[in-house]
Chains A and B, each alone.
Chain A
Amino acid sequence: MKSTLRVALVGNPNTGKSTIFNALTGLNQKVGNFPGVTVDKKSGLCKLPDGKQVEIIDLPGTYSLYPKSADETIVFEVLSNPDNSSHPDLVVIVADATNLKRNLLLYTQIADLKLPVIIALNMMDQAEKGNIEIDINALASRLNVPVVALAARKSIGLDELKSAISYSTNIPLQHATIDVESIAPELIKAVSKKLKIDNPYVALQIVHQHENLKYISKENSFWIEEQEKIHDFHPQKAQATETIARYNFINEVLLDTVVYTSVALEENISNKIDHYLTHKVWGFVIFFLILFAIFQSIFAWSEYPMMLIETVFVWLAELGHTYLPAGVFTDLLIDGVLAGLSGVMVFIPQIALLFAFISVLEDTGYMARVTFMMDKLMRKVGLSGKSVVPLIGGLACAVPSIMSARTIENWKDRIITIMVTPLVSCSARLPIYTLLISLVVPSKLVLGFINLQGLVLMLMYLLSIVMAILVAWVMKIIIKSNLKSYFIMELPVYRMPRWNNVALTMFGSIKTFVTEAGKVIVAVSIVLWVLASYGPGDRIEKIDQKYSSSEMISQYTEEEINILKSSEKLENSYAGIVGKFIEPSIEPLGFDWKIGISLITSFAAREVFVGTMATLYSVDGDDSEMEPVRNKMAQARNAKTGTLVFTTATAFSLMVFYAFAMQCMSTMAVVYRETKQWRWPIIQFFYMLVLAYGASFIVYNLLK
C-alpha cells in the first residue's frame, strides 16, 4: 500500500488545467522526467482539508488518448501501465464547461480505462455568461462520477475539488460509455489473452499504440502486428468508428444535462479583438510593435539586475581571494568555477524576462494568433507557424528559445527550429560586434542621417536571420519524416494573463536553466581554466622565474610585469599551444594564433572573446574598459609579416565567424536536453562550424 495517493490531472489544452495544478500545489512543485521519455513531468504535493497529502501529476494537455505529439504519448503510457512509477490512483479530468462536447471525448476514453475518475468542470463562470446551463447533479448521476464545478481563475471550487479528492474511492464506479469490444471483437480477445489484460479498451489502445509504448516488448509488438493482419484490422477506420460512437454517447448525455440558449459572450469579444490583431495590415504592424516593445524591455529592464549579479560575483571573487588560502584549489574555484558560473548567471534576468513575456503572450491567447498569421510564410522554408516564437526569442538568447520550441507538435518542424535558432544573433554576440565594428568601421553618417556603424550592426543581425531561414530551407529537404505536418489548432478566446502563472513560469525557467545548463558550464570552465593555466613541462615555472629576476623588476613596474607574465603564460599554456597549433588552419580566414586562442576560450560562451582579447593584448580589463583593448588591437601587428592584424577583412571575417559558429555550451546542453540525443547538438556544432569557416573564408578573401 502506497503512503500517498497519486492524482493525475488530465484534460484538453486551454481548459485551465495548469491554473488548477498551480492552485493545488503552489510553489510546492517540481519538474522532472517521466522514466525513459523526453517529456517534462510536472508534479507537486497538495494538502487536503482532512490533513492528508496527495501527489498531483500534471499530464500533458491532449484532446484524445490517440497521441498527436511526442508529449501526448505519455498520457496513455502512464494511465494504462500499473507498473509505471507515475501511474495514478485517481484521475481528475479537467473539462471546459463552455465546450463540453469536445471535452467529454477524452473523459469517455479515460473512463473506459476503468480508473477512478473525478470531473473538474472548469470555466463555469464563462459558461453561465454564455448562457450554457449545465445540470451538474444530472451529469454526475448520468455518468456516475463526482463532478465538481470550478472557476479556477477566480479561485472558485478549489476547496470542493480537494474534498472530492479526499472522498474518492479506489474503485472505478463510472458507467460504461460505449461497447468497445464490438469495434474489433476477435482481435481484442486475442490481445487480452496474450498480454493478460482484463480491460478491452486498454487492449484496443495497445493495438493502436504498441510501437510507441515502452512496456510492450519487441516480440509482443511484432506479435500484435501479425494479429492486426490476421484480423484485418484498419487502425484509422477503427478509430473513426470509435470516435463516432463516443460522440453519440456524449450527445445522449448532453441532451439530458445541458441547455444552450445562446452563443458564448467571450467568443464575440474575442472575434472583435481578432478583427484588428489578425488584420491584413494592422495584424503585422501590431505584432512588430509588440516585439519591439519586448526587446526594448528585455534589454532595459535586465540591465540593472545583470549589473547586480556581476557585482555579487566580483565581490565573491574578492572575498575568496582575501579569505581562502592562496593555492591551486583557490585559483580553480575562483578563476575557473566562479568565473564560469558568473558568465552564465548574468543571463538569468534576460532569460526570466523573455520567459515572462512569452508566457504572457501565450496566456492571453495572442501567440496562437501569431502562429495563425505566420504559418504560410514559415511553412515555405520548412518551419511551422509555431517556429516564430523561438526564432524571435533567439535574438535575446537561444537557450530559453530552444526550450520554447516544445509547443511545436510536428517532430521535423521542431527539430529544424531547434537547429536554426542558434544562428539568430543573440545578445552575447553584441559586445563582439560592437568591438570589431568600432575597430574598422568609421563613425560617420551616410545619407546625412544614418550612422554607418549602426547600419553595419543592423546588417549583421539581418544576415543572421536570413541565414537561419536559408538553413531551415536546406534542412527541410534533407531531413526525412513520414509524419504529416498539419495545423489543426484551437484559437483560444482572449483572456487576461494570470500573473501568478507568469511568476511560476519565470521561476521554473530560472531553476531549469541554472541546474541543467549550470552543470555543463561548471565542468567546461574547469577544463578551460586548467588548459589556460598549465603548460607542458616546466614552461610555466620558467616564466615565473624569468619575471622574478632582478633585471626584470628594475626594468618594469610590478603591474607591467604581471601583464607581461600572464600574456606569456597564456602563450605557453596548453590553450596557447593549441592556438599556435590551429593557426595554419585559421590563417586563410585572416586570423592569427591569438585570435585562435579566443576562438577556443570562447567556445564555452561567446562573451569570453572580449576578455581573452584583453588578456592577450596585455590589457587588464573587461567590457567596461573596451577603449584600451580597442587601441591595442588597432595597433597589433603580425609578428611574421609586420602587417596590421585587425584589417577590415580580418574584422569582418571574425564577425561572420562569431555570427555563425556554435560557441555556446549552454545552447548545446539545452539542445541535448530537449532532443535527448547527442547527435543533434553534434550535427549542429559541425554544420555551424563549416558554415562559419566557409563564410569567413569568403568574406576575408573578398575584402582582402
Chain B
Amino acid sequence: MKLSQLAIGQQGIIKEFTDLEMSVKLMEMGCLPGEAVKVERIAPLGDPIAVTVSGYQLSLRKREASTIELI
C-alpha cells in the first residue's frame, strides 16, 4: 500500500521509501519509517494532498506520496 492510495481520514505506518532522493527529503521533514501518517485532505483539484505526520501537517504531491510504502 502506498501513501498516495489512502483516502481522506485513513492512516498507515511508514514502512519504507521507493525513491532514494525523495526519501532523504521526506525524512528531513519528519516522515520516518515507523511514523504514523494520516491523510487529512486532498486539494480541490485532486493533487497535492495534506497529511499529518510526527505532529504537524505536511503537503506533498501524489507523485511524491507514491514513493512512500506503508505497512
- Complex interface: chain A residues within 8 A of B25 (CB): 68, 486, 488
Interface residue? A329 (CB, 8 A): no
Contact residues, B28-62 vs A (CB, 8 A): 28-30, 32, 40-41, 43-48, 50, 52, 54-61
B23 within 8 A of A: yes
Whether, in the assembled complex, A175 has its beta carbon less than 8 Å from a beta carbon of chain B, the answer is no
Interface check B26, CB cutoff 8 A:
yes
Q: Mark B1-37, 1 if CB is under 8 A from A, else 0.
A: 0000000000000000000111111111110100000
Please encode chain A, from 500 to 533, with 1 for each CB lying within 8 Å of some chain B CB and 0 for all others: 0000000000000000000000000000000000
Query: Which of A99, A275, A489, A492 has the largest count of B CB atoms less than 10 A from its CB?
Result: A489
* A270 contacts chain B at the CB level, 8 A cutoff: yes
- How many Å lie between the Cα of A492 and that of B58 in the bound state? 8
**Which chain A positions have C-beta within 8 A of B48?**
372, 375-376, 385, 487
In the complex, whether B64 has a CB less than 8 A from a CB of chain A is yes
Task: Tell me whether A243 and B28 are in contact (CB under 8 A).
Answer: yes
The docked-state distance in angstroms from the alpha carbon of A247 to that of B59 is: 21
Give the nearest-CB partner of A487 in chain B.
B61
Q: Determine the chain B residues whose CB is within 8 A of the CB of A662 once the complex forms.
A: none
- Chain A contacts for B50, CB-based, 8 A: 274, 278, 372, 491
Q: Tell me the minimal C-beta distance from A128 to chain B in angstroms.
A: 14
Interface centre among A98, A105, A376 (most CB of B within 10 A): A376
Cα of A243 to Cα of B24 in the assembled complex, Å: 7
Of A234-242, A293-301, A437-445, the one with at least 4 CB within 8 A of chain B: A234-242
Among the 9-residue stretches A222-230, A279-287, A353-361, A416-424, the one with 4 or more Cβ atoms under 8 Å from chain B is A279-287
Q: Which residues on the A side are within 8 Å of B64 (C-beta)?
A: 486-488
A99 near B30 (CB under 8 angstroms)?
Answer: yes
Contacts of B21 in A (CB 8 A): 236, 484
CA distance A66 to B29 in the complex (A): 12
Which chain B residues border A489 with CB–CB below 8 Å?
A: 58-60
B45 surroundings in chain A (CB, below 8 A)? 373, 376-377
A102 to B31, CA, bound (A): 9
Interface centre among A243, A376, A484, A488 (most CB of B within 10 A): A488
Binary per-residue interface labels of chain A (88-123) against chain B in the complex, 1 for a CB within 8 Å, 0 otherwise: 000000000011011001000000000000000000
Q: Are B43 and A270 in contact (CB under 8 A)?
A: no
Picked from A66, A98, A102, A488, the residue with its CB within 8 Å of the CB of B60 is A488
Q: Is the CB of A247 within 8 A of B40?
A: no
Q: A280 to chain B: which residues have CB within 8 Å?
A: 44
* Contact assessment for A240 and B43 in the assembled complex, using a CB-CB cutoff below 8 Å: no
Does residue A453 face the partner (Cβ distance < 8 Å to B)? Answer: no
* Inter-chain contact A271/B40, CB cutoff 8 Å: yes
Min CB gap A240→B, angstroms? 5
Contacts of A281 in B (CB 8 A): 44
B52 contacts A240, C-beta separation under 8 Å: no
Number of residues on chain B facing chain A (CB within 8 A): 31
> Does A63 have its Cβ within 8 Å of any Cβ on chain B?
yes
* A263 and B55 alpha carbons, distance in the complex (Å): 7
Contact between chains at B20 and A101 (CB < 8 Å): no
Separation in Å of the A388 CB from the closest CB of chain B? 13
Contact A279 B44 (CB under 8 A): yes
Which residues of the partner chain B approach A98 to less than 8 Å between Cβ atoms?
Answer: 55-56
Residue with the greatest number of chain A CB neighbours at <10 A, chosen from B29, B44, B47: B44
**Candidates A101, A105, A385, A490; contact of B57 at CB < 8 Å:** A490
Count how many pairs of residues, one from A and one from B, have CB atoms less than 8 Å apart in the complex: 112
CB-CB nearest in chain B for A237: B20
State A489–B50 Cα separation when bound (angstroms).
Answer: 9
1/0 per residue, CB under 8 A from B, across A340-381: the answer is 000000000000000000000000000010001101110000
Among B20, B24, B50, the one with the most A-chain Cβ atoms within 10 Å of its Cβ is B24
User: Please, how many angstroms separate the alpha-carbon atoms of A229 and B30 in the complex?
Assistant: 31
Q: A236 touches which one: B20, B40, B54 (CB < 8 A)? A: B20
Q: Let me know if A63 and B28 touch, CB within 8 A.
A: yes
Q: B20: which A residues are within 8 A, CB to CB?
A: 236-237, 240
CA distance in complex: A98, B54 (Å) = 10
Select from chain B the residue with minimum beta-carbon distance to A234. Answer: B20
Question: Shortest beta-carbon distance, B4 to chain A, in Å?
Answer: 13
B residues less than 8 Å from A484 (CB atoms): 21
**Are B28 and A105 in contact, CB atoms less than 8 angstroms apart?**
yes
Bound: A275/B50 CA distance, A: 12
* Residues of A close to B30: CB separation below 8 A: 99, 101-102
Contacts of B56 in A (CB 8 A): 98-99, 102, 267, 490-491, 493
Known contacts being A239-B24, A487-B64, is A373 close to B57, with CB within 8 Å?
A: no
Contact yes or no, B57 A267, CB < 8 A = yes
Asked if A86 CB lies within 8 Å of chain B CBs, one says no
Contact of B54 among A101, A372, A373, A487 (CB under 8 A): A101
A373 in contact with B59 given A63-B28, A236-B20, A240-B20 (CB within 8 Å) = no
Q: A: which residues have CB within 8 A of B? A: 63-64, 66, 68, 98-99, 101-102, 105, 236-237, 239-240, 243-244, 247, 263-264, 267, 270-271, 274-275, 278-281, 283-284, 368, 372-373, 375-377, 385, 484, 486-493
Listed from nearest, the 10 A-B pairs whose CB atoms lie closest are A102-B30, A491-B57, A376-B45, A64-B28, A280-B44, A376-B47, A236-B20, A239-B24, A243-B27, A487-B61
Question: Would you list 18 pairs from A and B whose C-beta atoms are within 8 A, ordered by A residue?
Answer: A98-B55, A98-B56, A102-B29, A240-B24, A240-B27, A244-B32, A247-B27, A247-B32, A271-B40, A274-B50, A275-B41, A385-B48, A486-B60, A486-B61, A488-B26, A488-B29, A488-B59, A490-B56
